[in-house]
A and B are shown apart, each in its own frame.
Chain A
Amino acid sequence: MTQASDTQATRRRWLLLSPALLILLFAASGPLLIVVLYSFLTPGDYGGVVWKFSTDAWFNVVVERDFFDDTLSFSDAHLSIFWRSVKLSLMTTLVAFIVGFPTAYFIATRPKDKRDIWMLLIMIPFWTNLLIRTFAVMEIIRNEGVVNSLLIGLGIIDQPIQMLFTEFAITLGMFYVYLPLMVLPIYAAMERFDFSLVEAAYDLYASRWRVLRRVIFPIVKPGVIAGSILVFVPSLGAYVTPRVLGGGKQLMLGNLIELQFGQGRNWPLGAALSITLLAIVMVALIVYVRAAGREEMSHG
């Protein structure tokens, strides 16, 4: 190809790309840089910022200054919210794996023409409104909800069990809304699985458990890693689910961030917390990319 047509092709390509890139730079990526900038400014009295450099926001992410004697101490409130976010996200991921792995396996072992329908059944809830699904969980576990009514009706308990506005409720809700993200990649990895390998293992007198652990699991592991990341990342940044099911009592990182832009009136702190969340997510994604790359090297 000649030099001229190459340049022309390049120009045409970037011209075609420009609308998408401009929209994304304007309303997705670009503003992230402003968040970084804001995290180094001073909060204004009524929200917003004063254009004065300060690193206070970053200190306030983990440290708080005593109002009276100016001593510094770890911010228990923030640290406990960080800890809760990580803990509940890990639990959500674990439960989603325990339920999602057998489900993906079940779908992958159906007759070929039926698999798409089963996967559609997994994906339909995923494409429906997250708020509505969270609300559906809320209706079931509230004190007057179906679960408590049923248990009281059967005479198992006298008083409703308080499930709503607990960490259990948030974990259940996040499990419920993010489960399809676990099933999808595991299924994708398992669909291509060659079951003659399993046959060979049984011929060599392997037990079912051993086959699962030593033959099937290593091959679908990239799917499991992908699924875990896909569940863990949105759980960590969840906002709607902990707000509705935690009822403002059990805050997670997303809610703490929102608080700084609402009643907290500390935009720089909110910005610093957002960057912190972003950093944790980036670390998780890098771990995933490297793990997936290694798997590909060893199996590809």
Chain B
Amino acid sequence: MAKSRAFDVRRQTGFVPIALLCFLVLYLPIILLVVYSFNKGESIAIWEGFSWQWYVKAWQNEKVQDATILSLIIATSASLIATSAAVMAALATTRTRGFRGYTFVFALINQPLMIPEIVTAVALLIFFAMIKVATGYTGLMYLIIAHSAFCIPFAYMPIRARLQGMDLNLEQAGADLYGTPWRVFRRVTLPQLWPGVLAGSMLAFVISLDDVVITEFVKSAGQDTLPTYMLGQMRRVITPEVNAISTALLAISVALVIAFYLLSKGGTQTNRE
């Protein structure tokens, strides 16, 4: 029977098993991590029954509470700042003829994607240490600015993509009807651009929430975010409490990424051709 089946030009021996194995390998560690966050015992390898106790423990841990609040403050601020800057940058760089300095602008915006994070982290450590000595300020602004910077390319990409697919005629019509540039932007451009803005801000939020390296180098004493708190915990004996925190963070990331996917999918469908 198998022989008589139509010859499939797309088949390559062994590729399907490797691909399926790849998906298994990608998800198995994460699934186990989530499963053991519900373990009754202290072990992260032996199942002793279901319990919520590690979530309760993490929830009541004051350090975890502080780190959560800090993470949310930084991610929200950085996402807002990065998205605003990215919207303006996207408006300036799309739907225009090439301009002098375009390569420079493009390289600068994408720089956080190309330069190893550890190098940026070291650079910020040195630079902010100088500012700290000069001004005596040790507050949160260092972390917020640093996060805003590396979030900009992530916010910029979906906004730019959305803007490129948009119809210029509507804005032209708005301008012809004597709309001021600001009014045209608010009433015509922004409503169309909105899915891109939302997608960009969500990516920026996730990227900021997950950052370890730059935060670890830039933070002052007592400024632990959830990831740097967890990194500190990994030097000690690990209990499923870390699993519980991880699971909560995973849930946020996965929810946002799926929302991003649905948003950008809707966006490209209306835009294609």
Q: Which of A162-216 contact B (CB under 8 A)?
A: 176, 179, 195, 198-199, 202, 208, 212
Q: Which residues of B1-39 are within 8 A (CB) of A?
A: 7, 9-16, 18-23, 25-30, 32-33, 36
Selected from B33, B111, B116, B203, the residue in CB contact (under 8 A) with A237 is B116
- Which of these binds chain A: B49-57, B143-151, B187-195? B143-151
Contact between B119 and A274, CB atoms less than 8 A apart: yes
B231 to A271, Cβ gap below 8 A? Answer: no
| A240 and B213 form a contact (CB under 8 A) | yes
Separation of A107 and B8 alpha carbons in the complex (Å) = 16
Would B32 and A130 count as touching, CB distance under 8 A?
no
Stretch from A16-24, A59-67, A75-83, A219-227 forming part of the interface with B = A16-24
Assess the B32–A136 pair: CB atoms within 8 A: yes
Of all chain A residues, the one with the shortest Cβ separation from B17 is A102
| CA–CA, A125 and B212, complex, Å | 16
Within 151-177 of B, Cβ neighbours of A (below 8 Å) are at 152, 156
B7 touches A202 (CB 8 A): yes
CB distance from B28 to the nearest CB of A (A): 8
Hey, what's the 0/1 contact readout for B240-263 against A, CB within 8 Å counting as 1?
Answer: 001100100110011011100100
Point out the residues of chain A lying under 8 angstroms from B75, CB to CB: none
A27 interfacial by beta-carbon distance below 8 Å: yes
Assess the B36–A31 pair: CB atoms within 8 A. Answer: no
Contact B45 A139 (CB under 8 A): yes
Task: Tell yes or no: B43 within 8 A of A by CB.
Answer: yes
With a CB–CB cut-off of 8 A, which chain A residues contact B109?
A: 20, 24
Q: What's the nearest-Cβ distance from chain B to residue A206, in Å?
A: 11
> In the bound complex, do residue B14 and residue A102 qualify as a contact, i.e. CB atoms below 8 Å apart?
yes
Rounded to whole angstroms, the CA-CA distance of A281 and B7 in the bound complex is 45
With CB as the reference atom, state the residue of chain B lying closest to A183.
Answer: B22
Q: With the chains together, A145 CA to B234 CA distance in Å?
A: 15
Residues in B with CB closer than 8 Å to A13 are: 92-93, 96, 99
Query: Quick check: B152 and A20 within 8 Å, CB to CB?
Result: yes
A17 contacts which chain B residues (CB < 8 A)? 88-89, 92-93, 105
Q: Nearest CB to that of A150 among chain B residues?
A: B45
Cβ of B81 under 8 Å from chain A: yes
On whether the beta carbons of B116 and A240 are closer than 8 Å, the reply is no
* Number of A residues with CB within 8 Å of any CB on chain B: 86
Most A CB atoms within 10 A — which of B99, B146, B212, B227?
Answer: B212
A130–B212 touching, CB < 8 Å: yes
Q: How large is the interface on B (under 10, 10 to 19, 20 to 34, 35 or more residues)?
A: 35 or more
Cβ of A132 within 8 Å of any chain B Cβ, yes or no, is: yes
* Chain A residues at the B interface, C-beta cutoff of 8 Å: 10, 12-14, 16-17, 19-21, 23-32, 34-35, 38, 48, 99-100, 102-103, 105-107, 109, 116, 120-125, 127-133, 135-140, 142, 144-146, 149, 176, 179, 195, 198-199, 202, 208, 212, 233-234, 236-237, 239-240, 243-244, 253-254, 257-258, 261, 267, 270-271, 274-275, 277-278, 281, 285
- Interface residue B85 (Cβ < 8 Å from any Cβ of A): yes
Bound form: Cα–Cα A234–B23 in Å = 22
Taking a contact as CB atoms closer than 8 A, the residue among B86, B210, B212 that contacts A128 in the complex is B210
**A34-B130 in contact (CB<8A):** yes
Q: Which residues of B contact A (CB under 8 A)?
A: 7, 9-16, 18-23, 25-30, 32-33, 36, 43-46, 81-82, 84-86, 88-89, 91-93, 96, 99, 105, 108-109, 111-112, 114-127, 129-130, 145-146, 148-150, 152, 156, 203, 206, 209-210, 212-213, 217, 227, 230-231, 234, 238, 242-243, 246, 249-250, 253-254, 256-258, 261, 265
Contact of B25 (CB < 8 Å), options: A23, A176, A199, A244? A176
B86 touches A20 (CB 8 A): yes
Contact A19 B84 (CB under 8 A): yes
Closest to B27 in A: A125
Nearest B-chain residue to A278, judged by Cβ: B119
Give every chain B residue within 8 A of A99 (Cβ-Cβ): 18, 21-22, 25
With a cutoff of 8 Å between Cβ atoms, the chain B residues found around residue A123 in the complex are 257, 261
User: What residues of B have a CB within 8 angstroms of the CB of A277 in the complex?
Assistant: 116, 118-119
Q: Are B116's CB and A32's CB within 8 A?
A: no
- CB-nearest residue of chain A to B133: A48
23 residue pairs from A and B, CB less than 8 Å apart:
A16-B89, A20-B85, A20-B89, A20-B156, A31-B123, A32-B115, A32-B119, A38-B126, A120-B261, A125-B30, A131-B227, A131-B230, A202-B9, A208-B13, A233-B114, A234-B116, A234-B117, A239-B121, A243-B231, A261-B122, A267-B126, A274-B122, A278-B119
In the complex formed, the residue of A with least CB distance to B257 is A127
Nearest 3 A-B pairs (CB), nearest first? A237-B116, A106-B19, A31-B123
The closest CB in chain B to the CB of A139 belongs to B44
A179 CA / B234 CA spacing, docked (Å): 24
Q: How far is the CA of A121 from the CA of B258 in the complex (A)?
A: 10
